[in-house]
Amino acid sequence: MGLNPISWFKKAEPEKPKKKICCACPETKKARDECTATYGPEAPRCAPLIEAHKQCLRAEGFNV
């Protein structure tokens, strides 16, 4: 009663992001964009900001 053995074998669907990638993580996006616009995307000082933004996007469910 209430138990469905078939459901035990269903694979869990990966959780889809709740937002569009352009709208996720506005704080880290702004810091990353300002740094890369000022110093260029290859500037060593921007690397931590770029990585922080990637980590934020991953936490939101994006595969980056």
Q: What is the 3-state secondary structure (H, E, C) of 2-51?
A: CCCHHHHHCCCCCCCCCCCCCCCCHHHHHHHHHHHHHHCCCCHHHHHHHH
Domain membership of residue 52 as a residue range: 21-60
Q: How far apart are CA 23 and CA 37, in angstroms?
A: 19
Give the number of domains in the chain: 1
In a domain, 52, yes or no: yes
**Per-residue confidence of the chain (64 residues) as pLDDT tens digits?**
566 666 666 666 666 777 899 999 999 999 999 999 999 999 999 999 999 999 999 999 999 9
In a domain, 50, yes or no: yes
**Is 35 annotated as contributing to ligand binding?**
no
In a domain, 2, yes or no: no
Q: What is the pTM of this model?
A: 0.73
In a domain, 26, yes or no: yes
What pLDDT is attached to residue 44? 98
In a domain, 14, yes or no: no
Instruction: Record the tokens describing residue 23, joined without a space.
Output: 């709208």
In a domain, 10, yes or no: no
Alpha-carbon 4 to chain mean position: 34
What pLDDT is attached to residue 9? 64
**Is 25 annotated as contributing to ligand binding?**
no
CA atoms within 13 A on the CB side of 33: 7
What pLDDT is attached to residue 56? 98
